[in-house]
Structure 1
Amino acid sequence: MLFTLFRRLLLIGINLFLLSLVSFAIFMRDPANQVFARPHIYSGYIDYVSNLLDGDLGITYNGGERLLSVILTVLPPTLELCFIAILLGLLFGIPLGLIGAFKRKQFTGKAISAISSLGMSLPIFWIAPILLYLAAVYHWEISAVGQTNLLYDIRPITGFAVIDVWFMDVPYQTKVMQNVLQHLALPSLVLMISPTMEITKIVQQRAEWVMSQNYVKFANTRGLGIFNILRHYILRNTMPLLIPHLPRLITFILAQCMLIEGTFAWPGIGRWIIDALSLQDYNAIAAGVIVIGLFIMMINLLTELLTLVLDPFGKKGWYAR
Structure 2
Amino acid sequence: MIFSFFRHLLLLCITLLIISLISYVILMRDPLNSVLATPHFYSGYLFYVRSLLQGDFGISYNGGESLKDLILTVLPPTLELCFSAILLAILFGIPLGLLGATHSKHFIGKTIRTASVLGLSMPVFWLAPILLYFSATQGWEISAIGQYNLLYEIKPITGFPIIDVWFINEPYRIKIIQNVLQHLVLPTLVLMILPTMEIIRIVQQRAEFLFEQNYIKVAATKGWSQWKVLRKHILRNTLPLIIPQMTRLFTLVIAQCMLVEGTFGWPGIGRWLIDAVGVQDYNSISAGIIVIGLCIIIVNLCVEIITFILDPLNKKGWYAR
Q: Into which bin does the TM-score normalised by the smaller protein fall? A: over 0.9
Aligned equivalent of 1:41: 41
Aligned equivalent of 1:113: 113
Aligned partners of 1:93 and 1:309: how far apart in 2? Answer: 23
Aligned equivalent of 2:95: 95
Deviations 1:162-182, CA, capped at 9 Å, x for gaps: 111001111100000000011
1:141 aligns with 2:141: yes
1:185 aligns with 2:185: yes
C-alpha displacement of 1:311: 0.8
Deviations 1:7-26, CA, capped at 9 Å, x for gaps: 11111111111111000001
C-alpha displacement of 1:46: 0.6
Aligned partners of 2:100 and 2:26: how far apart in 1? Answer: 47
C-alpha displacement of 1:150: 0.5
Aligned equivalent of 1:248: 248
Structure 2 counterpart of 1:72, which letter? L
C-alpha displacement of 1:315: 1.2
C-alpha displacement of 1:63: 1.6
Aligned partners of 2:184 and 2:231: how far apart in 1? Answer: 33
Aligned partners of 1:126 and 1:164: how far apart in 2? Answer: 32
Aligned partners of 2:302 and 2:162: how far apart in 1? Answer: 24
Aligned equivalent of 1:71: 71
Unaligned runs of 5+ in 1: none
Aligned partners of 2:196 and 2:9: how far apart in 1? Answer: 33
Structure 2 counterpart of 1:56, which letter? D
Counterpart of 1:45 in 2: which secondary structure?
A: helix
Percentage of pairs with the same residue: 64
Deviations 1:42-78, CA, capped at 9 Å, x for gaps: 1111101100001000001122111011101000000
Superposed structure 1 runs of 4+ greater than 6 Å apart? none
C-alpha displacement of 1:88: 0.6
C-alpha displacement of 1:152: 0.7
Counterpart of 1:263 in 2: which secondary structure?
A: helix
Aligned equivalent of 1:17: 17
Structure 2 counterpart of 1:308, which letter? F
Aligned length: 321
1:153 aligns with 2:159: no
C-alpha displacement of 1:109: 0.7
Aligned partners of 2:100 and 2:275: how far apart in 1? Answer: 43
* Pairs within 5 Å for 1:1-321: 1-321=1-321
Aligned partners of 1:148 and 1:62: how far apart in 2? Answer: 25
Structure 1 counterpart of 2:66, which letter? R
The TM-score with structure 1 as length reference comes to 0.99
Unaligned runs of 5+ in 2: none
